[in-house]
Amino acid sequence: MTGDRPLVAGMTLYLVITAAPTLLFWAALRVPAAVAACRARRPGVPTGPSLESLVADLRRLRREVCGPPPRTRLRRVALLMAYDDVLIGLAGAVGVDAAPLAAAREGTSDRAYVRLQTEAAVEAAGIALDPPAAAGPEAA
């Protein structure tokens, strides 16, 4: 019985039987870390609106804020709250700290000052809040 197999086949079978448990345990320890690394490299799904839509919303609201004042106090407060919310979202999207604006109380001069600082920081980050008007026949 022992002489019916070649020596190389017997040694190969012996090595597979002895090395298999070690290799299986090694793979069981390494595979979860490799899977986690692959998942970390994969880009995540973006949350919230895109940068372009935030900029468009902020510019639209800024035109309303800088334009003639709304007739009622409710509309004015709602407009400023919407503007501040979009400004905070845009600041977060470009990496500007908007915590002071979020923490400032509504309706105070401190809030207006912090809003101005946040606007300046967003413009310093490269977002033009008041883009130059399009050069066309109406601009002349």
What pLDDT sits at residue 91?
Answer: 93
The rounded mean pLDDT for the chain is: 86
The whole-number pLDDT of residue 90 equals: 94
pLDDT in tens, 51-100: 999 999 999 999 999 999 889 999 999 999 999 999 999 999 999 998 88
What's the confidence (pLDDT) of residue 53? 94
Residue type, position 84, single letter: D
**pLDDT for position 68:** 92
Q: How far apart are CA 140 and CA 133, in angstroms?
A: 11
Residue-level pLDDT at 72: 94
pLDDT at 136 > cutoff 80: no
| Three-state DSSP string of 8-30 | HHHHHHHHHHHHHHHHHHHHHHH
Hey, where are the domains in the chain? 2-41, 51-124
